[in-house]
Amino acid sequence: MHIDIITCLPKLLKGPFSDSILKRAQDKQLVSIDIHDLRDYSANKHRAIDDYAFGGGAGMVMMVEPIDRCISHLKGIRKYDEVIYMSPDGDLLTQSVANHLSLSQNLIMLCGHYKGVDERVREHLITREISIGDYVLSGGELAAAVLSDSIIRLIPGVLSDESSAMTDSFQDGLVAPPVYTRPASYKGWNVPEILLSGHDAKVEKWRHEKAVERTKTRRPGLFQGDE
């Protein structure tokens, strides 16, 4: 998989991709990530990529021209499955969305800033808009990192135990059950006996029951048919 991220603040994205699972995925050549400074595509001598909004109002707007130049340049190199705009009013990122995007070969992610992008970008250049939650960030960089992480960890070979991703919360419509590790007893806080029994079928039954119980309590809306 190849991911191109377009941003006016590329330094914000160096950290998330330079350590842990995302770094190992790149080292294994399972994914390649290029971060593009939008200012490199500005026709302005000051490298400006924003301007005042027509009609007035507070805040600046990211201009269509540098974004179009950057996306057009990238499309001249490879074909993309999706050109994604990270937007608070986009489709909510869910595990199902991450699963679907993990099958892609090439993705572009555009990070918004200021009051957002010129609407013509969204009308003519973007194929999908994604939000990571009903709140507003200072820019789309952190959202793009979250989306990338949710996708990349699903690529076969990225995780040392591939079955781990398939047992994550939300993969089966449930949140994950409780987990424990050594010591079995600490300050009188004991691990449930069933997990020490060695009886795999009973352990899996217990885990499923706990996942259902926890989902009903904490995320009841996940159950099919719930509003």
In the chain, what are the domains? 2-152 (3.40.1280.10), 170-222 (1.10.1270.20)
DSSP secondary-structure letter at 62?
A: E
Report the C-alpha gap between 212 and 208 in whole angstroms: 6
**Residue pointed to by tokens 């500005």:** 42
Q: Which residues are 128's β-sheet partners?
A: 84
The 3-state DSSP class for residue 99 equals: helix
Residues of the chain with pLDDT under 50: 225-227
Residue-level pLDDT at 163? 61
Q: What is the pLDDT of residues 101-125, one digit of tens each?
A: 999 999 999 999 999 999 999 999 9
pTM metric for this prediction:
0.87
Written as one letter, the residue type at 175 is V
| Rounded (10°) angle between helices 141-152 and 20-27 | 60
